[in-house]
Structure 1
Amino acid sequence: MVLILSRKENSLFTPILNHVNYTFNKVICTGASTLIIHNDSIVLEQYIGKQSGEKDARAVQPDTQFHVASVRKSYIGYAVSYALFYGYIKSIDDLVLSYLPELDKNTWKDTTIRHLLTHTHGLKQEVNRVIRDFSPGSSWSYKQIGIEALTKIVKRTTNKSVADIIHESVFTPLGFNESNWYSKKHNKLVDVMLRYEGDEDWSTSESIEGDKMNMYVSTRDLAYWGYLHLKKGRINGKQIVPREIIDMATSLQSPSNLHKDLPQNGFLWFVKDLPAKKTEIGHQVPEGSYQILGFTNVTLLVIPDEEIVAVRMFNSFGSPEGYDYLSDVRSFGDTVMKCVKNEFKVSL
């Protein structure tokens, strides 16, 4: 089965394109795109600029694959949910040490898989050691160390890599041929435009197991990934993925005692629940929505109440001086909602 949606271009969604163009001119990039799915149809799809800064660079087009940075974590979250659903992991409240006993017992004491999934583990990497910033579940901090532990738990419990699980259960059944982890570049992959030469936050990897930050996805494949979640794994009348896997990944999983103003997470997805001050989701976006973001300014937003999936892609990296990333991404979600509301008014 290949996932293909009908196309019903709607000018009422043009403000989203305007928003993407605005961001395109604010960040350091050469290319961008956006794709909006509403009520099972593509209502907006646009490609902007070039794949790199080279004079003869390839134009950004439907098969262009963008570096998605931390958006890859939604695929890792799926793999953890898969492992939980099929019984490889007993509970997300299990201690990490019960799966990775080789870790330092004093440092990792009382840390659960739930803490890793919701960025509440309180650990950080310092050169050659891991140290504790705060007690598990007491606060929130976005650190890579938790992601590394999750991918190891998936591999150890299932005997499959994150990439294996995603390819077997999603990419192959649905014909997602423009999503993958790459050890080498090819002509459909964008060049990532760094903030400065030697940017220490940028890294490449030869791993194709889904455990490193080297995933590239086309705009339409990322939108379809969001659509799979929106439809709870059911595509064209067939349950491709068990609904429970999607439900677990995209529902609120943060510790119940976490401060109400801290970001809220499912299985690495940011979810909209209480009106948290530090949320990365727009104020007008309704409860039950979920979003995943990348350092390349790539954003995937799913709003179940409105049957909408919104994607924006850039080949930038990080935030240049004067650009407020969080404000911009919240504004993106609010712009999507304004378009939906305007369409509703017109249809009355």
Structure 2
Amino acid sequence: MLLEKKYTNLFEDVHTHVKGSAVKLGASGGALFIIHHNKIVAEHYFGKQSNTVHARNVKADTQFHIASVRKAYIGFAAAYAIYNGFFSIDDPIRSFVDDAHLSAYEGVTIRNLLTHTHGLKIENDKLISEYGPGESWAYRGPSIELLTAIIKKTTGRSVADIVKEQVIEPLGFQSTEWIKMSRPHLKTANTLRDANNIFWTETDVVDGSGMNMYVSAQELALWGYIHLTEGKWGGKQIIPREVIQMATSIQTPNPTLPIHKNGCLWFVKDTNQPFNQIGDTVPKGSYQLLGYTNVALLVIPEEKVVAVRMFNRYGSPDGYDYLEDIRSFGDTVYKCSIKSTMQ
């Protein structure tokens, strides 16, 4: 661990917020990890890894299912591929797909996939175009499947291979992986089953294309931290600065539209909008990802802060306002970071 631990009670409001969210969600357990000005200032673990009788307590090495937060790693692999010339961000995806004849692909580029402005949608088992590329924004699954396939086809390596080579091994991460669900291990938080009594992430595919990525709170925060430092680790440039800058700056093709703004899959704060996942007080240029397990990774460069919250909860109960909750989480992190900076 390269960062000094200097715990402070100045982030206690964030801890209270996370514990309150866990109660609202009915989560069996959770975690909070905050880095501020190159120091670990808050680290909390609570509850159990599942609702079973003999469930393990959540600990520092507990790996949570991160759901859509895995897109930070897919976006990184895409930025890496673009930086190394395997494809351009504005290349049409028809150049890379096997079913290029489909009319839905017309005009869709890599940029559209990375910013959720592609308009692709599965309807009645068919791929259709919901709107013209760049004309609107929608959070749809086809973009991730296409991106991971294009990355593998052009680089010859899977997303998992790229992340392992460029991130996991150089940084010495031990708790960041795609896990075969037929062989879960002790440190894996047992995310609740869905209405059909099956795991939402039940797959043995570990190439980075599946929704079976598990990460500890600490390593997810350190992943955010290397974005904050623009690729530096221990004073050395481990990842090219340009890769991180591409991933975390707005890449949306028509940034004047009143829609979510994205980098390489990251949500990037621009102007305040009622649909934003990032709170109104959080400054422009901050970026975040939120997963369906209510895991969140928030980076606020202006305050040099990274905040991670983890919950062992699939989805959310009726009446839970996830948008209000995640926005207030960010606002609370920002408020506490300002107080900490002033000390």
Report SS of the residue matched to 2:18.
Answer: helix
Q: Is 1:132 matched with 2:115?
A: no
Superposed, which structure 2 residues align to 1:246-261 within 5 Å? Answer: 246-256=244-254, 259-260=257-258
Report how far residue 46 of structure 1 moved.
0.2
Report how far residue 128 of structure 1 moved.
2.5
Matches of 2:26 and 2:136 in 1, distance apart?
Answer: 32
Q: 1:278 to 1:125 in 2, by over 3 A?
A: same
Q: 2:104 aligns with which of 81, 104, 107?
A: 107
Match of 1:266 in 2: 263
Deviations 1:52-87 (A, max 9, x none): 111111000000000000000010000000000111
Matches of 1:140 and 1:198 in 2, distance apart?
Answer: 32
Aligned-residue Cα RMSD (Å) equals 1.4
Letter of the 2:282 partner, please give it: V
Q: Is 1:297 matched with 2:294?
A: yes
Report SS of the residue matched to 1:244.
Answer: helix
Letter of the 2:52 partner, please give it: E
Runs of 4 or more off by more than 6 Å in structure 1?
Answer: none
Q: 1:38 aligns with which of 33, 36, 52?
A: 36
CA contact (8 A) 2:290 2:297 kept: yes
Report how far residue 36 of structure 1 moved.
0.3
Matches of 1:302 and 1:244 in 2, distance apart?
Answer: 17
Letter of the 1:325 partner, please give it: Y
Superposed, which structure 2 residues align to 1:294-333 within 5 Å? Answer: 294-333=291-330
Matches of 2:173 and 2:38 in 1, distance apart?
Answer: 18
Task: Count residues in correspondence.
Answer: 341
Match of 1:50 in 2: 48
CA contact (8 A) 2:303 2:338 kept: no
Superposed, which structure 2 residues align to 1:158-237 within 5 Å? Answer: 158-183=155-180, 184-194=183-193, 196-198=195-197, 202-237=200-235
Deviations 1:173-209 (A, max 9, x none): 111110000113111001112464447x924211110
Letter of the 1:46 partner, please give it: H
Matches of 1:211 and 1:19 in 2, distance apart?
Answer: 32
Report how far residue 131 of structure 1 moved.
1.3
Report how far residue 49 of structure 1 moved.
0.2
Matches of 1:238 and 1:249 in 2, distance apart?
Answer: 19
CA contact (8 A) 1:65 1:217 kept: yes
Report how far residue 341 of structure 1 moved.
2.3
Matches of 2:325 and 2:154 in 1, distance apart?
Answer: 39
Matches of 1:210 and 1:9 in 2, distance apart?
Answer: 34
Matches of 2:331 and 2:295 in 1, distance apart?
Answer: 16
Report SS of the residue matched to 1:33.
Answer: strand
Match of 1:279 in 2: 276
Unaligned stretches of 5+ residues in structure 2: none
Letter of the 1:228 partner, please give it: I
Q: 1:120 aligns with which of 117, 133, 139?
A: 117
Q: 1:206 to 1:104 in 2, by over 3 A?
A: farther
Match of 1:143 in 2: 140
Report SS of the residue matched to 2:289.
Answer: strand
Q: Is 1:337 matched with 2:340?
A: no
Deviations 1:84-113 (A, max 9, x none): 011111x21110001114234311111111
Matches of 2:273 and 2:293 in 1, distance apart?
Answer: 24
TM norm structure 2: 0.96
Report SS of the residue matched to 1:26.
Answer: helix
Q: 2:25 aligns with which of 24, 27, 32?
A: 27
Report how far residue 276 of structure 1 moved.
2.9
Q: Percent identity?
A: 49
- More displaced stretch, 223-232 vs 117-126: 117-126
CA contact (8 A) 2:194 2:200 kept: no
Report how far residue 129 of structure 1 moved.
1.3
